[in-house]
Structure 1
Amino acid sequence: MITIRHFPATVAFNDAVVPVIPKVPSSMQEAAPLAPKQPETLDSSDYRIVIEPSGKRVKVIFNGETIADSNRALVLHETRLPAIYYLPREDVALRFLRASDHRTYCPFKGTANYWNVEVGAKSAENAAWSYEDPIEEALGIRGYIAFYWNKMDAWFEEDQAVEIDPGEGLTEYSNPLAAWMLREAWEATSSAELLDRLGRQLNEAGFDISRMNVIIPTLHPQMASNAFVWRRGETVVDERDFPHYGLQSDAYLKSPLMPIFEGAGGIRRRLEGPNPPTDYPILADLIKEGATDYVAMPMRFSNGKINIFTLSTDRPGGFTTEHLGQIHEILPILSRLLEVHAMHRMSRTLLDTYLGAYTGQRVLNGLIKRGDGEDIPAVIWYCDLRGSTALADSISREDYLDLINRFFEAMAGAVLDRGGEVLKFIGDGLLAIFPMEKAGTSKEGKDMFCGRNACTEALEAARDALARMQDVNAALAEEGRAPLRFGLALHLGDLSYGNIGSSTRLDFTVIGPATNEAARIDSLTKELGVALLISEDFESYIPDSLVSLGHHRLRGVTGDKEIFTLPELAPTADG
């Protein structure tokens, strides 16, 4: 039976020294659950690795075949993990091993490559691993191969079968840094606050962190990832958004990030000495800042997505195994906390992107059931593209989508820049609103609203949209393509603003007679040959600035309605 060296550990709790006993880990490579004991100080002296000769003949059996048989086995003891045999490659039956794409990273051992073990019809996925280029603390196991105890069928020492208890011999321990994570870190309300607290806590414990980064890929139409940069001595965490086009930049392609995102494991570079490595440009910058060590580690979310956590220190001698061991142990906790914040940011982004900021906030505030909503007065913006059916039949799908998106970019961009809310794209049309501001309460207790500001902003947005469409059509003319024709209507009225649909598929939108009237006014642009038409209800808030086009009947609407437009768009007397 192999022996497991014990490294005693205690934790100070309420002025008493209490031993902490871990639970049995779920796998051979997972640290035992962290003990939620509160330390008075952080002490990392209990984490270490030891490599020593076994001195025994070790044999591994799988599906009736000898997978390994060696008199030269090494035993690696790592704090809080069961002892592991590492076997010389020459003593392993490599014909039964099939390389897999799986990689894991340890900041003081390096990147582990994995194999599936296959014998006949039986296989064990990612059952063997090796550190081909280990970090200096683990150079003794370079190229040696290890196997999961519980994925092999039998183990022998000196021809005696060994019954392995993964929990036997695990050291008593505490990781006070993990205790801090459980006790305080969860209180942080954002990723930036969490990293600021963590950075200060690490340095209070003597880790001498000079810079700490977290890079989290995100679902965003413009941004590829969120980055958070903590620097010692700065009071604010630098939050950055990394655009999609940045993935093709030299700064990214020549950074340590790309290989880690592609699954290559982590990266460790010691930066002291006469010729420190500068294979990544960031290392030269860190050396100028006085950094002595750098580590970049993959950090997975629960869905398997890879994120990156980087640390640099200016401590003489760089990171110790004890420091990296404790940091490595808290990564699962840190990852889950960051994932919660990332999910909140992603939810906010997706709601803003697909519903709009105004509507998305209401959904986040709890308006999620069918029928939830409110009655609001607002300016209604309705526009659509003219001749889109014929256009779609005459050009390729790619060209048609390009034209549609140019149109929507001009219209939606103008709305959003003036504080409007784009509710939905309907085929080749767009529905948006400019909510009125609450102006007070009447004597009867009813809310009163001011429409002038909403009308002013909507009208300026319309002018902007017309100017943008002129630019779009100018660009199309240079490309030898026909201009885009469109109609735009501005109306004003009371709307029912909320959730409609089936019980399992809802849409947060506006409904009511005013919405239908806006669509009818938009249709009238075809008859009058004027791109922008404005209702009399809208005009009442900004009199004397528009030109009347007379009274017109709207389909499905009782009575004639006076219609207006901008002076520069009104037809002249000679037609």
Structure 2
Amino acid sequence: MSLDDIAKPAGYSIDVEPLTHPVRIWHNDILLVETTRARAMYETRLPTAIYVPREDIVVPLGPKTELQTFCPFKGTASYHDVLLDGKTIENGVWSYVSALPESKGIQGYVGFMPNAATRVDLGQNQLQTDRDGNITGPLVDWLMREAGTVPNPEEFTRAVATKMRENGIAVSRLAVLVWSLHPMIAGKNHIWRAETDEVQTFTPSYDIHQFPGFVNSPLQHVSNGLGGVRQRLGDTDEASRFPIMDDLRAEGATDYVAMPLPFSDGRTNVLTLTSDHPDGFTTENLGLVFECATVISRYYEVFMQRDNAQALLETYVGKRSGARVLGGEIRRGDGDEIDAAIMFCDLRGSTRLEQELPRDQYIALLNAFLEITSTVVDAHGGEVLKFIGDAVLAVFPAGEDAAAACASALDAARAVVAQVAEDEVTAQTSCAIGIAFGRVTYGNIGSSTRLDFTVIGLAANVAARLCDAGKSHGHAIMVTDEVAATQTGLADLGSLELRGVSDPVRAFGDRS
């Protein structure tokens, strides 16, 4: 069944009709316009709008202001102030200088905002009163009843496109750009194509804002709050403002629209629709999408809030810990007892360096050290739990293989020492590392309103004390006998008295 065969429900409509009798518009007792050429615009679910020729306005208007708004079937509206004696009504009128085909009847005409037109005298003109204000159909029904069960934005994007087509909207490509709160990813761009019925998701970095393909694109235009974009691509004589239009036209597209998807926090995301139908999008098509845009936007906001929460938790507490928090372990005392190798890594000479180096150089040194440590720990299957000033606390859960966890922790420690010595920024310093193995509590501690997801136990304390002891014993890495049991290249240092640890600890130092 083709899209043309689908019975279309009563939908959004827009009509422009002339008013043949005089119309007068007032601001209190000041006459703003008197005309016999007014036109009435009837639009689904909106009050009838009265438009008048600009030359019939009898009060001065200011120059075009910065405000712009977008309608997918009228175009981009520009605004002017209304200048009265001793009073300025900001953005009091709007007009569509280049109206879209559905609204050519009001091109160049002017509409008055309610705070400017306090009284409209229609005289003998009669307005229509039987306009249908109901919109329904597969898309609306699905959004209201079933969309909430869709588990992720990819499936939601595909379902939105499918429901639009079931509603008679000839969309061949649908894309949604949603901005994120992620330290590395600027946002997510979900793109659906009818030819494959699949969704591709791209995660551009913040470099996108310097990328020419984005800077000169409808996505940038809409994201910057400059209104939407509409272009009929079947008209090859119409100049393309954006290079993407020529690319889509070459692929057989006939119509394109980009409209804002606002989030509740003020961020402006972007929905784009492309059609390859000979007639492109109808007024009913775009009216339905425009009506549903706010609801569609809320679903993407929920998805992105979930992604943002996960990204922020992973950024600040680590991937495993973040997953546990998202999984509901958010109360004080929530956690597990696990066997793990605990690594404590400290930057040597940091106090001296902080005093000797300019602040920006010291921060760069500290960031380089933390970056090396985090990357190495992740690569060896561990997780950085926290940064403590210039120190790093990491955990390597044992699961069923304690020896593997100890080996991973020691391999990671050796890699950190080597990379710190080789890195151009950190080569001026060095680090000390302590590793211990044992049973620790992995979970939430803190007050009733401020929690910390961490590890508590003797192994964590011993790892920190071994790190300190390494500085005085001349070893970059010191480990307990449990860690050293199956490893080579370690020097037996005997039993050591460690500050804050009641019993002596048999320690081994790395010879490398």
Q: TM-score, normalised by structure 1?
A: 0.81
The residue aligned with 2:501 is 557
- What's the RMSD between the two structures over aligned residues? 2.8
Q: Distance in 1 between matches of 2:25 and 2:76?
A: 24
Match for residue 309 of structure 1 among 260, 271, 276: 271
| Counterpart AA for 2:20 | G
Q: Distance in 2 between matches of 1:552 and 1:92?
A: 93
| Counterpart AA for 1:263 | G
Q: Tell me the percent identity.
A: 38
The residue aligned with 2:12 is 47
Q: Distance in 2 between matches of 1:301 and 1:403?
A: 38
Between 1:459-468 and 1:226-235, the stretch displaced more is 459-468
Change over 3 Å in CA distance of 1:41–1:270 after alignment to 2: closer
The residue aligned with 2:43 is 78
Q: Secondary structure at the match of 2:204?
A: strand
1:339 corresponds to 2:301:
yes
The residue aligned with 1:142 is 107
Kept after mapping to 1: 8 A contact 2:421/2:430: no
1:326 corresponds to 2:288:
yes
Q: Distance in 2 between matches of 1:520 and 1:482?
A: 24
The residue aligned with 2:346 is 384
Change over 3 Å in CA distance of 1:245–1:565 after alignment to 2: farther
Match for residue 441 of structure 2 among 493, 496, 517: 496
Structure 2 unmatched ranges of 5 or more: none
Match for residue 436 of structure 1 among 398, 406, 416: 398
1:259 corresponds to 2:224:
no
Structure 1 unmatched ranges of 5 or more: 1-39, 440-449, 569-575
Q: Distance in 1 between matches of 2:85 and 2:459?
A: 72
**Residue correspondence of structure 1 range 228-239 to structure 2 within 5 A:** 228-239=190-201
Change over 3 Å in CA distance of 1:559–1:507 after alignment to 2: closer
The residue aligned with 2:431 is 486
1:365 corresponds to 2:327:
yes
Instruction: Give the drift of 1:410.
Output: 0.4
| Counterpart AA for 1:453 | A
Deviations 1:156-179 (A, max 9, x none): 33499x9x9xx9755242331322
Q: Distance in 2 between matches of 1:195 and 1:106?
A: 22
Q: Distance in 2 between matches of 1:328 and 1:538?
A: 63
Between 1:354-363 and 1:484-493, the stretch displaced more is 484-493
Q: Distance in 2 between matches of 1:123 and 1:500?
A: 60
1:111 corresponds to 2:76:
yes
Q: Secondary structure at the match of 1:223?
A: coil
Q: Distance in 2 between matches of 1:94 and 1:567?
A: 89
The residue aligned with 1:530 is 475
| Counterpart AA for 1:59 | R
Q: How many residues align?
A: 507
Q: Distance in 1 between matches of 2:67 and 2:441?
A: 53
Kept after mapping to 1: 8 A contact 2:154/2:199: yes
Match for residue 510 of structure 1 among 455, 461, 466: 455
Q: Distance in 1 between matches of 2:437 and 2:236?
A: 73
Q: Distance in 2 between matches of 1:492 and 1:521?
A: 12
Change over 3 Å in CA distance of 1:175–1:116 after alignment to 2: farther
The residue aligned with 1:129 is 94
Match for residue 408 of structure 1 among 358, 361, 370: 370
Change over 3 Å in CA distance of 1:63–1:468 after alignment to 2: farther
The residue aligned with 2:134 is 173
The residue aligned with 1:465 is 416
Instruction: Give the drift of 1:90.
Output: 3.1
Kept after mapping to 2: 8 A contact 1:270/1:277: no
Q: Distance in 1 between matches of 2:16 and 2:188?
A: 40
| Counterpart AA for 1:173 | N
Instruction: Give the drift of 1:127.
Output: 5.2
Instruction: Give the drift of 1:78.
Output: 1.2
Change over 3 Å in CA distance of 1:426–1:99 after alignment to 2: farther
Q: Distance in 2 between matches of 1:348 and 1:554?
A: 38
Q: Distance in 1 between matches of 2:289 and 2:9?
A: 10
Kept after mapping to 1: 8 A contact 2:478/2:507: yes
Match for residue 232 of structure 2 among 270, 278, 283: 270
Q: Secondary structure at the match of 1:258?
A: helix
Deviations 1:265-318 (A, max 9, x none): 111121114445444232232122211111111111122210011111110122
Kept after mapping to 2: 8 A contact 1:44/1:323: no
Between 1:493-502 and 1:96-105, the stretch displaced more is 96-105
Q: Distance in 2 between matches of 1:557 and 1:345?
A: 42
Change over 3 Å in CA distance of 1:168–1:275 after alignment to 2: closer
Kept after mapping to 2: 8 A contact 1:98/1:118: no
Change over 3 Å in CA distance of 1:284–1:153 after alignment to 2: closer
| Counterpart AA for 2:37 | R
Deviations 1:88-147 (A, max 9, x none): 233446657686544332111112234566868988775543223222222222232223
Q: TM-score, normalised by structure 2?
A: 0.90
Q: Distance in 2 between matches of 1:221 and 1:246?
A: 14
